[in-house]
Amino acid sequence: MSAVRRRPKLLRNLNAKFAAMPMILTTLVVFVGGTIWTVVYSFTNSKLLPRLNFVGFAQYERLWNTGRWETSIHNLLLYGVFALVFTITIGFLLAVLLDQKIRFEDAFRTILLYPFALSFIVTGLVWQWLLNPNLGIQNAVRSLGWESFSFDPLYTPKIVMFGILIGGLWQGTGFIMCVMLAGLRGVDEEIWKASRVDGIPAWKTYIFVVIPMMRPVFITSLVLVASGIIKLYDLVVAMTSGGPGGSSEVPAKYVYDYMFTAQNLGQGLAASTMMLASVIIILIPWAYLEFGGRKRG
């Protein structure tokens, strides 16, 4: 048990190394090993079982020639852009409202954040019910007298992603609001005093002083929302199962379907490698901003 004296380097601190074994194995075998495995096998023509029969970029060629994949990418971009903009904007605005030294702050925050405790499946099923054209919101408004009112995004291919977005925003904005609120609370009170002394209106202080100061918080939120968007899967499964007519397919679903139901492993792996590539494209600028900048500054 006790510390070891003058043992060979590898055997020093043995308990810690032993205790950290799960972490070492997870990083090496699952994260690094698994990722390499997936990338390597995405260049094979594996069908039901993985086979090392290399076919070059054939899987990727097929992937980008598949209409379903194009729809998936298009949907993810559409959802992603709107989810990013709305989550960050709404999250920030709500945080500003809650930061006005108001009463019942805890009550408001509790209500705005509770959806975040729920799963995407629960979220998706509730909104599927609310957006049901015959019995949901559309029907409720129509029965008020507005007969031509139409609101059935989940059954309209063109706007189905916005229907899913409604559920996604309901679930996720409260979280970003909390992150933003923590950021706002971190702004020095002196800044507010100074701007008040100078007679600068509050909204100007927010835009020109507070927001630039909260840059790290915004970047963190951005990364959090973005990495959530790429994982978008459960919500789609619960709300539309990819329908109507495959118009709400997303990449994560494509991967799952090809790997586990269509039994075209190589295709699924190629698609998941594309997902990895897109994450890396997002992550590298972030890592550069976060860590590269700090070293120099």
Partner 1 sequence: MANASTNIAAAGPRGPKPRRAISGRNIMIYGTLGLVALYYALPLYVMIVTSLKGMPEVRLGHIFAPPVEITFQPWVKAWAQACTGLNCDGLSRGFWNSVRILIPSVVISIAVASVNGYALVNWKFKGSETFFTILIFGSFIPYQVMLYPIVILLREMGIYGTLGGLVMVHTIFGMPILTLLFRNYFTSVPEELFKAARVDGAGFWGIYFRIMLPMSMPIFVVAIILQVTGIWNDFLFGVVFTKPDLYPMTVQLNNIVNSVQGVKEYNVNMAATMITGLVPLTVYFISGKLFVRGIAAGAVKG
Residues in 209-238 that interact with partner 1 by CB under 8 A: 220, 224, 227, 230-231, 233-234, 237-238
State the nearest-atom distance from the C-beta of 211 to partner 1, in Å.
18
Q: Give, as ranges, the residues between 106 and 145 that touch partner 1 (CB under 8 A).
A: 106, 108-122, 125-130, 132, 134-137, 139-140, 143
**Minimum CB distance to partner 1 smaller for 71 or for 127:** 127
Shortest Cβ distance from residue 148 to partner 1 (Å)? 17
CB of 208 to partner 1, least distance (A): 20
The CB-of-252 to partner 1 minimum distance in angstroms stands at 6
The correct pick among 73, 164, 269, 270 for binding partner 1 (CB under 8 A) is 269
Q: Is 52 in the site for partner 1 (CB under 8 A)?
A: no
Q: 191 is written with which tokens?
A: 């800044």
The residues in 153-182 that bind partner 1, with binding defined as CB under 8 A, are 170, 174-175, 178-179, 182
Q: What are residue 119's DSSP bridge partners?
A: none
For partner 1, the closer of residues 213 and 224 by Cβ is 224
Binding to partner 1 in span 60-89, by CB under 8 A: none
Euclidean distance between CA atoms 2 and 39, whole angstroms: 44
Rule CB under 8 A: say whether 284 interacts with partner 1: no
Q: In angstroms, give the least distance from the CB of 179 to partner 1.
A: 5
- Please, what is the minimum distance in Å from the beta carbon of residue 219 to partner 1? 9
